């Protein structure tokens, strides 16, 4: 029963992460030189937090389902790609905090590309 709810939450969070990534990209591009108090900084924070929650839920599912026994995509590719996307997103958020919100744009774009590449669209 717990696994059912985790999988449902993971599926719902996928869309929240994608929307957050688009908002972070738009915020980083449009924020310019404004500080983190603007919506560009908050959108980057929202994206990284949403991705943190998504990866945490995914890792719980992976451990509870003994994910390493599944096919190669779910056993290795999907988790590795999403953890890498998480690291890249945090790199972008760190760049935003050190400089201006616009400095996280390319890291958020790379993170979104990894997320899209790692989503099992037919599952």
pLDDT tens profile 60-96: 998 888 766 778 888 888 999 999 999 999 999 898 8
Helix (H, G, I), strand (E, B) or coil at 58: helix
- Report how far residue 101's alpha carbon sits from residue 42's, in angstroms, rounded to the nearest whole number: 9
Instruction: Summarize pLDDT for 7-61 with one digit per residue, the tens.
Output: 999 999 999 999 999 999 988 888 766 655 677 788 889 999 999 999 999 999 9
User: For position 47, what pLDDT does the model report?
Assistant: 95
Backbone phi, psi, residue 34, to 5°: -70, 155
Lowest mean pLDDT among 13-17, 94-98, 109-113, 114-118: 94-98
**Nearest alpha carbon to residue 14 among 68, 46, 71, 53:** 53
User: For position 57, what pLDDT does the model report?
Assistant: 95
E strand or H helix that includes residue 14: helix 2-31
Contact 17, 115 (CB under 8 A): yes
- Report how far residue 2's alpha carbon sits from residue 39's, in angstroms, rounded to the nearest whole number: 35
Contact 64, 6 (CB under 8 A): yes
**Nearest alpha carbon to residue 91 among 21, 59, 44, 55:** 44
User: For position 35, what pLDDT does the model report?
Assistant: 59
Contact 2, 56 (CB under 8 A): no
């Amino acid at each position: 029963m717990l696994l059912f709810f985790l999988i449902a939450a993971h599926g719902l969070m996928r869309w929240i992460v994608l929307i957050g990534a688009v908002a972070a990209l738009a915020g980083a591009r449009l924020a310019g030189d404004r500080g983190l108090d603007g919506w560009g900084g908050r959108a980057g924070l929202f994206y990284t937090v949403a991705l943190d929650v998504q990866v945490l839920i995914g890792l719980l599912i992976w451990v509870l389902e003994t994910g390493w026994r599944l096919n190669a995509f779910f056993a290795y590719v999907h988790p590795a790609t999403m953890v890498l996307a998480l690291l890249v997103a945090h790199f972008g958020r760190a760049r935003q905090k050190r400089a201006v919100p616009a400095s996280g744009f390319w890291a958020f774009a790379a993170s979104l590309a990894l997320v899209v590449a790692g989503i099992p669209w037919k599952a």
